[in-house]
Structure formats: structure tokens, C-alpha cells
A = this chain, B = another copy of it.
Amino acid sequence: MTPEHFTAVPLEKSYRLLNHGPTVLVSAAHDGVANVMAAAWACVLDFGQSPKVTVVLDKATYTRELLMASGEFALQLPPKALVTLTVGVGTDSAREVPDKLTKHGVQLFNAPGSTVPLVAGCVGWLICKRVPEPHNEQTYDLFIGEVVGAWADERVFRDGHWQFESASDDLRTLHHVAGGQFYAIGEPVRG
């Protein structure tokens, strides 16, 4: 079952979930084993009919191993309400803390028709298919994903736009600086 407020975002609008630079949780699963890590270095690479993203995943991470095995992963946006969970899954490695998801209260679910694990309580989700680029992956830890599905919490993202100003502060996206210091996204500005 998907969480309340989990609403599909058209692929051609999916870049807008990531465009403002939020910190993400990266998830992947293989052979019935799932993992989740935090990453500040995720970015839109392309939009339109074939949207793509980049994400930097250290060779030591278990999530990278699961991603390589399955060819799929998800990027999702933890809001302020999940700041403790975000620091937790970003600090512990599943290699040393095998029950890290339970320890940090991570609840997983699947989107219809997909087996990629998604984290409940996030405000945006992008399911991605790995675009194999071995040189980037080996040299820079840089992964490219094609976005094949996108969803958002309709309380904060509707009609193709974020609506942070009309929702609870707890639903604002997190933007990491360093060492567990984040900023929440702030007020709208029009150019």
C-alpha cells in the first residue's frame, strides 16, 4: 500500500522535484535485501521526455552494490520531519549496522508495478534506471539514472510546483551543509 498523499508526477515535470537542490535519500534493493543512504550530491541532468539525474555514490556504500546488482534505484526527498532519520541512515553503514533501517525507523513501500524500495514520509520520489557509464562510476563515483517514475506528496507539490508556503513547516525539504547541519527550504521568490 502506498502512503496517503502519494501522487504521480508527470515525467516531464519530475525534474522540478530536484531542481531546487534538496538532499536526497538513495535506496536500492536486490535479492530481497534493501538499503537506504543519504546523499547531498544529486542533481538533474536532463528533463523533457527522457529525464535524467546524477548522483554520487561512494564505492564503500552498500546501496551502490545493490544498485549495481539490480540496475535500479530511487532518489527521494526527506522533509524536515525526517531530519533525524536522514542523519542516521547517512551515518551508519549497513555493512557495520545490518539493522540500520529498523534502528532509524525507516519504513519502506513500493510504487505500483515496481520493486524499488521507497521511504515513507518523504515528499518526493524518483525511480531511476541506471544508465551504465563505467568510466564515470569508477573514476568519479558518478552515477546517471533515467527517471522512469515520479511521485510527490500532494500536500507540498501540486500542479507541477512546490507549495511549501501553504503546508506544514515539517514538510519543507532539507538542504545539507555539513556534519548534520541543514537548512530547510524557505520562502518563495519570484524573478
Contact = CB atoms under 8 A, between A and B. Distances in A.
A181 B163 CA distance: 11
A161 B188 contact: no
A182 B176 CA distance: 18
A176 B40 contact: no
Contacts of A161: 177-178, 181
A55 to B, nearest CB: 9
Contacts of A180: 190-191
Interface in A69-103: 80, 83-84, 86-87
A189 B178 contact: no
A57 to B, nearest CB: 12
A3 interface: no
A185 B182 contact: no
B16 A177 contact: yes
A191 B135 contact: no
A111 interface: no
Contact of A183 (B40, B162, B176, B182): B162
Interface stretch (A19-27, A28-36, A115-123): A19-27
Given A21-B21, A162-B177, A175-B185, A86 B45 contact: no
Given A183-B187, A184-B186, 12 more contacts: A19-B176, A20-B183, A21-B40, A43-B54, A54-B54, A83-B191, A162-B183, A175-B175, A182-B191, A184-B188, A185-B185, A185-B186
26 contacts: A16-B177, A19-B40, A19-B178, A20-B23, A20-B176, A20-B182, A21-B175, A42-B43, A43-B43, A45-B140, A45-B142, A54-B142, A83-B189, A83-B191, A86-B191, A135-B135, A161-B177, A161-B178, A162-B183, A180-B190, A181-B190, A183-B185, A183-B187, A183-B188, A185-B186, A186-B186
